[in-house]
């Protein structure tokens, strides 16, 4: 499931504020998040623990993970 934005492939479940924060930071695809650390994403205004949990689960479903 993706966001309504034409260029975003992030899960809708993370919410609009998190989606906006991530796309503004240049992350439009789930796979791009493998280059980011959780702490860096949490520092973005609009990205909270719930969004990180959802993203972690979505990444794990594709055998991917955040950068250590």
pLDDT per residue as tens digits for the range 5-30 = 445 799 999 999 999 999 999 999 99
Q: Is the pLDDT of residue 57 over 70?
A: yes
Q: Are 13 and 1 in contact (CB under 8 A)?
A: yes
Supply the pLDDT for residue 8: 72
Residues pairing with 29 in the sheet: 9
The H or E element that residue 9 is part of is none
For residue 3, name the pLDDT band (cuts at 50, 70, 90). Answer: very low
Q: Name the CATH architecture for the domain at 12-61.
A: Orthogonal Bundle (1.10)
**pTM, full prediction:** 0.87
């Amino acid at each position: 499931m993706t966001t309504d934005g034409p260029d975003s492939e992030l899960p809708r479940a993370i919410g609009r504020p998190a989606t906006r924060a991530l796309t503004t930071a240049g992350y439009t695809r789930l796979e791009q998040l493998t280059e980011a650390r959780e702490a860096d994403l949490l520092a973005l205004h609009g990205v909270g623990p719930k969004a990180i949990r959802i993203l972690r689960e979505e990444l794990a479903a594709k055998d991917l993970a955040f950068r250590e």
